[in-house]
Structure 1
């Protein structure tokens, strides 16, 4: 009976009606926020509008609907930086929010989006088509790592919605086991091998986003040649584990500085290692040669 109820309220036409009624009366029922399912029409500002297809398992879609695009993570800061970039590498693209934004914000940018999950294969490609961005955004169903070959990937399963074909929950990983998962065998590349195999050596890599649930150090190690050559700005999700320490070591060797973000400012950080901080953080890694891209956004610690 519960599954039938969920199927009804998350059937896209029904969900569209219910979620918008819910939103209209949110002050009366502040604790009830129905997750969106289906295609949403979203806007970053009056100029940048786009469509985003999602389902009820997607926390990103939930945030976009209930708090708006500009309130999500570091989106405003991302928007101001990406317009100065020639390329964007989106690792752990999921439904493709940052890929879509990059392509909508910049006329001439080239976007490479990576995600090996079956959900991303469906939703990322659908969102690219919905926004007519196939000429600018290319989706690759590969995992990125520190080596090339077949690898195990732990794709999260959703116990609440067992009838869902695609789960957009963001905890799928190469290195961490979700509470409930399905083991997949996927193709992995180091990014350095990927650009050679796909003849992209001459594409200047300006901005990289990595959200890979603990696999960030492996991924960054696998793009060491690219980092030495182009010194891209890199944003990584930092989990409260050893990955922050390892990323700090890798980027220090490359001469990078570290920044946390507060709204539309970048705040210099001396270290990423903080045993008392158990929160997931997004940190910007910036080489001195790229300071001209972010200088106006740097605040004070």
Structure 2
């Protein structure tokens, strides 16, 4: 073992102590830790996060939850910070919420925190991510309010290969980037997964399959016309989404970016870090 390896091992051992992690979090939230530093440190254990209204909820981070760094160290200030306050306000009045591509369930947790009467359906086909999601539902005691669906959504039922890249939050049925691993998963439609839940709000993060997912929930959309928040990583994905939602009867797509909720006209290209769009 080299000196560098020894020092790194000592650092990692020290960082496992909860008191050290709490000190890092406090310093980061005060702006004393540079982004380049906290983004390399990984929180573990159960943490309290604050929703946009200041109320608390729990988030369980394990050793390979790469999303946890942005959530825990900065209390979500560097994670979709132009989206989750808008989402939280929408969830206050929603009867039901569908989280498509839920990963660890952060949007499901926010929705349930916003509205104690809301029911949620959280869809996540990646088995490793589903373990994180299930744990977060358990630590927040939401088992009676959240239905977990360990399947992928698309336009028709079946089976498919899920590609899991190094960024495990970007697992997809489409090979948008090289996959470190693949797993065969069951595929269903949104209408089948949702059942009789009266859905007023949908969040979709499926790395390019948004049109197929929306096509598979046409019955739900016809019955309830939910507000949709969807991620589009480039202009081509945005135009595919635009064509789909216009066919489904929606009238506008707006960008959730640094300028707030703003128009996203044809030809609009999502800037880095701000790739979410509001459809209503």
**Structure 1 length-normalised TM:** 0.79
CA root-mean-square deviation: 2.9
CA separation of 1:262/1:246 partners in 2, compared to 1, >3 Å: closer, same or farther?
Answer: closer
For the 8 Å contact 1:9–1:18, the answer to whether it is kept is no
Do the aligned residues in 1 keep the contact of 2:96 with 2:118 (CA within 8 Å)?
Answer: yes
User: Is the Cα–Cα contact under 8 Å of residues 176 and 214 in structure 1 kept in the other structure?
Assistant: no
Q: Hey, what's the Cα distance between the residues in 1 that align with 2:228 and 2:141?
A: 27
Contact (CA 8 Å) 1:77, 1:263: kept in 2 or not? no
After TM superposition, give the deviation of residue 262 of structure 1 in Å.
3.9
Spell out, residue by residue over 1:34-90, the C-alpha distance to the aligned partner (whole angstroms, 9 max, x if none). Answer: 221222122225752111112354343111223223663211111111011000000
* Structure-2 change in CA distance of 1:97 and 1:69 (3 Å): same
Q: Tell me, yes or no, if structure 1 residue 194 matches structure 2 residue 199.
A: no
Identify the residue that residue 53 of structure 1 maps to in structure 2.
Answer: 60
Cα distance, 1:146 vs. partner?
1.2
Structure 2 unaligned residues grouped into runs of 5+? none
8 Å Cα contact 1:12-1:37 kept in structure 2: no
239-248 vs 126-135, which deviates more? 239-248
Comparing 22-31 with 51-60, greater Cα deviation is found at: 22-31
Distance 1:188 1:70, change over 3 A: same
Distance 2:224 2:140 in 1: 29
Q: 1:97 aligns with which of 95, 101, 106?
A: 106
- Look up the match of 1:40: 47
1:117 to partner: Cα distance: 0.8
Conservation of the 8 A alpha-carbon contact between 2:121 and 2:148: yes
The TM-score, its normalising length taken from structure 2, stands at: 0.84
Look up the SS of the partner of 2:156 in the other structure.
Answer: coil
2:180 corresponds to which residue? 181
Local SS of the residue matching 1:170: helix
State the match for 1:250 in structure 2: 244
Structure 1 residue 182, shift from structure 2 partner: 1.2
CA distance in 2, matches of 1:223, 1:262: 27
Question: Contact 1:113/1:139 (CA < 8 Å) preserved in 2?
Answer: yes
Q: Deviations over 1:70-113 (max 9, x none)?
A: 66321111111101100000011111111111112212111000
Alignment of 1:14-93 (within 5 A): 14=16, 16-26=18-28, 29-30=33-34, 31-33=36-38, 34-44=41-51, 48-69=55-76, 72-73=79-80, 74-93=83-102
CA contact (8 A) 1:172 1:178 kept: no
TM-fit CA distance, 1:276? 8.2
Unaligned runs of 5+ in 1: 159-168, 287-301
- CA distance in structure 1 between the partners assigned to 2:255 and 2:47 by the alignment: 30
CA distance in 2, matches of 1:51, 1:124: 12
